[in-house]
Structure 1
Amino acid sequence: MSSRVLVDTERRPAVLLAALGAAGLAAVLLAAGAVVPVVEGAEPGFAAAPLLIVLAVLPVAVAGAFAARGRPAVAAGALVAVAVLAPGRAVLDLQFLVDPSVAVRPELYLAKDLLLHPVAAGLWLLLAGHVATAVAGLLAFRATRGAEQDGGDETAGWRQRWLLVVVVAAVVAAIGLLMAPFGSTDVYLLARNAFEGPAVALTGYLLIACALPLFAALAVTSGNGGFARGGLLGLGIGVVTLAVPSLVAGVVLDAADLGAGPIVALAGAAGLLAVAGTRPAGEPDAGPEADEAAEARVPGRSRLLAATGVLAVVTAAAACLGATTAQLTTNGALPAPESPARWVLLVAGLLVGALGLAMFVPGVARVFRPALSVAWAGVLLAGTAVLDTAITATGVAGTLETGPGVLWTWLAMVAAAITACCSVVAGIVEREDDEGYDREGGETGLAGVNMLTPLAAAGVLAVAAFGTPVIVAPDYEAAGLWSAFGTPSWGLLAATLTVLGAVVLAPRSRPAPAVALLGGAACLLGLHAATLPLSSGDIEGATAGIGVWLALAGIVALIIAAVIAAVGSRRDVA
């Protein structure tokens, strides 16, 4: 054993102890934030301080118990998992700083009027607690580096058995947190789901929803049984911390009713905790040897591809349901309008689903993964256009209400973002493996600079295509990037940035991934151009706008660049 490994072995317990200390400080700060008011001159809706104190102390208590029993990997995994949720929770609390009157957090503050009250010290204590939680997670992860793998290949069967289960459980928990926390008859307590609430709170919930399945997949495929169990345990505790206050509020508040959201979230948390209770066959017993086996590693490529495939299929299913179920319901005699973009969402979902299924085919997955890293933005491109119809219609017509299609569309967009994150992580692992192959004497050729000209043209055309309308009709104004900015514009912006990212990365990639990246970008532009035939039937007098021709020109430029990359690859082989 090298001297560096010996030093790391000696330092790991101290680093884990520092992580537990930071977690203890976080618990104190969060508990104090539960007692001190977060808004001046206001009170919580019920006496939630004892409950919030228990929930604040629970993560560090569990981690400390496992560390005391000689299970540092489990303790570290729990601290890292809780830290992964800390950024979303911090953003969620920032809603008190922006506008506390629309914050649906009766355990901390129940509005009695619509005045903008200044924040109090409690908010800063909560934010400091989230920062300390993140620091504890970073220290805990540092404590798992530089040791031997926990369980080795003996945990492979455990990983394969529970990977899909934990991802589904995490997605269920995320769905529950995005749903309405409870029902309410109080005009000052608008119990809406995350997508109908304020933008800051929505951002926090989306960060949490994205982190749950992504970290669950990474933990289970980490190759470390103890860290995986601790990670799932920490995620379950994190979901409980978020869901239980809403559950209690629905029970104890006179103006509130018990909602399905916290129950669904706790069901997902129960699944995570149940898998955390299982034990991989190769996980070492407690004792000194457990400290030597506390390394958390980035999961292998095949496991990440499988997780990406599962998430892509979930995205496709949600997108198809969002496109085929009603976005609006009505109590009147006239039928509810349908979104013209629903068929675009269906095609985008099928595209992501097809690429996701390819992730399960050895040899094919590596070819199509870069395309999936780009094509996911098509769900955002179409989903925001679908939601725009519901947002506009419910805002002007009192007889219309959102239907199930709105929820499925939101979930598809969240799942698409999670899929992209997992695909990018798989790409990073793939690149590291390729660099290792290069050091052993393998091929080192990149796609090169020969395609810079068509790529530059493709980038300019993509910006112009997404910024100009593809449909022109009387009494119809399409959303754009620099004019008529609306809900669909966010999808256009996401697609534009994704295509530009592919254009920038392609020359720095190997030929095969470069071709796949450019193919995914071409699919995005093609989906944008296909809005004309797919949506024109619902728009009277619809004709092709300039965006169609710009998108087609961009596709041609991307194809030329892909051909240059492919031809250069053949020359290198020859």
Structure 2
Amino acid sequence: MTARPDLPSGGSSASAANPQLVTSQLRAAIAVSVVGAVLVGLGPLVGLVAPSASAAFLAWPLLLVLALLPAGIAATSVRFGRPAIAAAVLVGPAVLAPGRLVLDAQFVADPGLAARPELLKLHTLQLFSPSIGVWLLLAGHFAAIVAGVLAVRGVGPSDERPGANRQGLLALVLCVSVLAAVGVLMAPFASDDPYLLPKPALDAPLIVLVGSVLLAVGVPSAAGYLAGSVDQDFARGGLLGLAAALAGVVVPPLIAAAMLVEISYSWGPVLGLIAVFALVALALPAGRTRTGEVDEDLHLPALNRLLDSSAVLALIAGALTALAAIAPQVEMPYGLRDPSSYPARMLWPAGIVLILVGVGLLLPRLALRVRPLLPVVWVLVPLAATGVLDAVFTAVQAAAAETRIGAWAAGVAVLFAAAAAIVAAVAGAVERDEVDLTEIAMRRPVLIPALISLVLGAAAFALPVVTAPDYTAPGVFTEFGTASWGLLIALAAVVAAAVLAPMCRPSQAAALLCGAAVVVGVRVLEYPLTAERLPDSAPGTGLWFGIAAVLALLASAAAAGRTKAA
């Protein structure tokens, strides 16, 4: 994901260097991509298992069209003389292909556990063996990998001056990719059919788990690599290709839910589809060339004014969060216990952190050091508020309870916290333009501990912190409810901080990682603050992962602080 001027580049210079080599390699890559797409479409048409069993609906034309999308975009780009776009379009499918290949390998191991109605629908418990269609399907994914390698080799380094990188765009792309990564780890649909048993990645068979994790890692990795390119055509084409490849993963479950009565929509593919549209939308600014000419009519607010505004918004959010913790959340009918009192305890650390960050932003000597914390730690407010609102919604629906000021204050606090984070992010962009115009560079001493922290932090939010008999905690991948949205937002912030930190300046990287440590630390506090409400409660696996993640994030922050800016 390092921004480098020697990445594949578009324009006439690459073609001029050796036009015959570029054209032949790109044409070969596109041809291989087309062959792979045809194989993906032929697989379910020929049949994946013996004895023969078909898909739940006529899906192979849809699969063929989705698989042909990258090749079609690449061929069109070559036709219009944009080889860098054509090459980059095939990178995303190549990066996601290993995960898709492993997922489809489940048909070789046990077709009955694949839960892929667009490819296969079984109606019996008899044993099935893989047929030629499976091997065609796997060969199609392998062809996508080969096409990506050929495409990147088919466009040489550019002799043109690269355009300037925009860290804000890179951050947006990474956030969108994290959303997609979470989506592919969730169950693809809900089902009432005993022969279609979809499960989230953590509960799925080992092969499905590995394939899902490869997809979840591949999406942000490809997004960061492509969006971080100094070549605008390569960045634009890469995001378009990644969106097309992701569509091939998330669209079939959505179509299956629309076509079949026995299954219904799940949040996973919906999040993935949102990410697809977002990547397409971000491909346009990724391809805009920045020159030395600046629009004089466009003036960003002064950095100090932005810092003060974010401080005020953070203080208001923190005060509202503290008010929500003090005030009653709900008025229960006589004789019924208030279910929101224990979740409301989580509002205290969230409010205190926001107030402290707001105060730090008002102090001139600390403002620039504290500023990177806010775009991360703001998620503490929705993390705490969604747990409270979940209890309130349940009480209102099940017991005809009445909402009180505490619940309203928690909801409004989320809005102010989000606004504070947005303003702080804009301040970061202004600060970078005014203070440091160096290129983004990957700092390897920070990369490895940050990635370890990412895995531990993800487990802290994916696994329960508190366990008890007859109690199932809200989760990101299981028992998804109102409280799960807070977990999902917090998880996205921790992942984004760990991904961005190796590319940031030392002080900013350390602040991001410290902010992520604070977020995970508040997640850990859920056990001592709320465990009393559950009889025979015990620490969950997520608690230990959370403690380890806090230590790893702090160690990563220390490594980042010691690293010299590139």
TM-score (norm: length of structure 2): 0.58
Question: 85-94 or 143-152: which moved more?
Answer: 143-152
Matched with 2:70 is: 59
Query: Alpha-carbon deviation of 1:384?
Result: 5.1
Query: Alpha-carbon deviation of 1:178?
Result: 4.3
The within-5 A match list for 1:15-26 is: 15-26=25-36
Aligned match for 2:464, one of 386, 394, 401: 386
In 2, Cα distance between the equivalents of 1:135 and 1:517? 37
Aligned CA distance change for structure 1 residues 309 and 35 (closer, same or farther; 3 Å)? farther
The within-5 A match list for 1:153-168 is: 153=164, 156=165, 159=166, 162-168=169-175
Matched with 1:302 is: none
Aligned CA distance change for structure 1 residues 376 and 258 (closer, same or farther; 3 Å)? closer
Q: Helix, strand or coil for the counterpart of 1:107?
A: coil
In 2, Cα distance between the equivalents of 1:321 and 1:37? 49
Contact kept in structure 2, 1:164 and 1:310, CA below 8 Å: no
The within-5 A match list for 1:115-154 is: 115-149=126-160, 152-153=163-164
Aligned CA distance change for structure 1 residues 421 and 255 (closer, same or farther; 3 Å)? same
TM-score (norm: length of structure 1): 0.57
Q: Letter of the 2:236 partner, please give it.
A: R
Aligned CA distance change for structure 1 residues 381 and 54 (closer, same or farther; 3 Å)? closer
Matched with 1:216 is: 223
Aligned match for 1:186, one of 193, 196, 208: 193
Contact kept in structure 1, 2:184 and 2:269, CA below 8 Å: yes
Aligned CA distance change for structure 1 residues 404 and 523 (closer, same or farther; 3 Å)? closer
Aligned match for 1:73, one of 84, 94, 99: 84
Query: Alpha-carbon deviation of 1:372?
Result: 4.9
Aligned CA distance change for structure 1 residues 53 and 74 (closer, same or farther; 3 Å)? same
Matched with 2:43 is: 33
Query: Alpha-carbon deviation of 1:183?
Result: 3.9
Query: Alpha-carbon deviation of 1:377?
Result: 4.8
Q: Helix, strand or coil for the counterpart of 1:190?
A: coil
In 1, Cα distance between the equivalents of 2:378 and 2:219? 15
Contact kept in structure 2, 1:34 and 1:53, CA below 8 Å: no
Query: Alpha-carbon deviation of 1:369?
Result: 5.8
Matched with 2:58 is: 47
Q: Letter of the 2:246 partner, please give it.
A: V
Aligned CA distance change for structure 1 residues 317 and 16 (closer, same or farther; 3 Å)? farther
In 2, Cα distance between the equivalents of 1:516 and 1:20? 44
Contact kept in structure 2, 1:8 and 1:146, CA below 8 Å: no
Aligned pair 1:11/2:11, yes or no? Answer: no
The within-5 A match list for 1:70-469 is: 70-149=81-160, 152-153=163-164, 156=165, 159=166, 162-259=169-266, 261-277=268-284, 280-282=287-289, 372=450, 375-380=453-458, 382-383=460-461, 385-386=463-464, 389=467, 393-394=471-472, 403-406=481-484, 409=487, 412-413=490-491, 416=494, 419-424=497-502, 426=503
Q: Helix, strand or coil for the counterpart of 2:50?
A: coil
- 1:44-63: CA deviations, max 9, x gaps? 11111222122222221221
- 1:364-421: CA deviations, max 9, x gaps? 99999677555445524533551673998459xxxx9654445654675576456545
Query: Alpha-carbon deviation of 1:81?
Result: 1.4
Query: Alpha-carbon deviation of 1:311?
Result: 9.2
Aligned CA distance change for structure 1 residues 382 and 250 (closer, same or farther; 3 Å)? closer
Q: Letter of the 1:100 partner, please give it.
A: P
Query: Alpha-carbon deviation of 1:175?
Result: 4.5
Contact kept in structure 1, 2:501 and 2:512, CA below 8 Å: no
Aligned CA distance change for structure 1 residues 235 and 386 (closer, same or farther; 3 Å)? same
The runs of 5 or more residues in structure 1 that have no matched partner are 285-307, 334-352, 431-509, 570-574
Q: Helix, strand or coil for the counterpart of 2:264?
A: strand
- 1:460-513: CA deviations, max 9, x gaps? xxxxxxxxxxxxxxxxxxxxxxxxxxxxxxxxxxxxxxxxxxxxxxxxxx9x99
C-alpha RMSD of matched pairs (Å) = 5.5
Query: Alpha-carbon deviation of 1:267?
Result: 3.0
In 2, Cα distance between the equivalents of 1:5 and 1:274? 28
In 2, Cα distance between the equivalents of 1:387 and 1:230? 42
Q: Letter of the 1:247 partner, please give it.
A: L
Q: Letter of the 1:190 partner, please give it.
A: L
- 1:163-216: CA deviations, max 9, x gaps? 454344434444444444444332222345445544432433333233334433
In 2, Cα distance between the equivalents of 1:283 and 1:231? 18
Query: Alpha-carbon deviation of 1:225?
Result: 1.0
